[in-house]
Amino acid sequence: MIDLHTHSLFSDGELVVSELVRRVEEMGYRFIGITDHADRSNLDFIIPRVVRAAAEINQYNRIQAVPGIELTHVPPPTIAPLAVEARKLGARLVVVHGETIMEPVLPGTNQAGLEADIDILAHPGLLTPEEAALAARRGILLEISGRKGHSFTNGHVARVARAAGASLILNSDAHAPGDLLPGEMVEKIALGAGLEQGDFQQMLQNAEELVRRRQDEHH
């Protein structure tokens, strides 16, 4: 299993990075992305520290922690420059907090994220066919969310993404230990979104390919 969207104490999560990694390692995960919420105020604080923690953890654990960031509620015109800065600071995963129906995310966030150098558009809410087509052209993964509330539009996201030929990924968006998903639940979430077993396996492959590509670029 692979989960590339989780949160630690560096934002609104409950666990330090080491415990978060250890808990999912015990659950059989192979990769975990640490993608705490950030804007201009804390981007340069979070990323270097998660990069250092991940580098140390990865020397001793079977699981590999992947340092990243989730650009959250930032003005859409700032997404592209913040993504560039995040890469320079060492983020291997850049996630944008999409237009979930559960929060007052600024309109235009999905579009701006998909035009920027990002990897995942998280919980994109009422994704439009045009946005899905842009994600397909740019190779950006659209998230099927395991998080309560954000998951309300999973079926819509799955349908629009498949119609556009866009690639999907399934993440927990975990903030607390109880949010972490056992493998059988991840599969049920995928099937509940109207996807098939083959789609679920493809999402796992999409996640692994993203991690491997970012690792190769780093080395």
Q: Please give the residue range of the domain that contains residue 188.
A: 2-218
Q: For the chain, what is the domain count?
A: 1
Give the pLDDT score at 75. 98
Give the pLDDT score at 219. 66
As given in the structure block, the two tokens for residue 152 are 């309300």
Give the pLDDT score at 171. 98
Q: What is the CATH number of the domain that holds 159?
A: 3.20.20.140
Is 217 a residue whose pLDDT tops 90?
no
Q: pLDDT digits over 81-127, tens only?
A: 999 999 999 999 999 999 999 999 999 999 999 999 999 999 999 99
Mean of the per-residue pLDDT values of the chain: 97
Q: pLDDT digits over 7-60, tens only?
A: 999 999 999 999 999 999 999 999 999 999 999 999 999 999 999 999 999 999
Q: Assign 183 a pLDDT band (cuts: 50, 70, 90).
A: confident
Give the pLDDT score at 216. 80
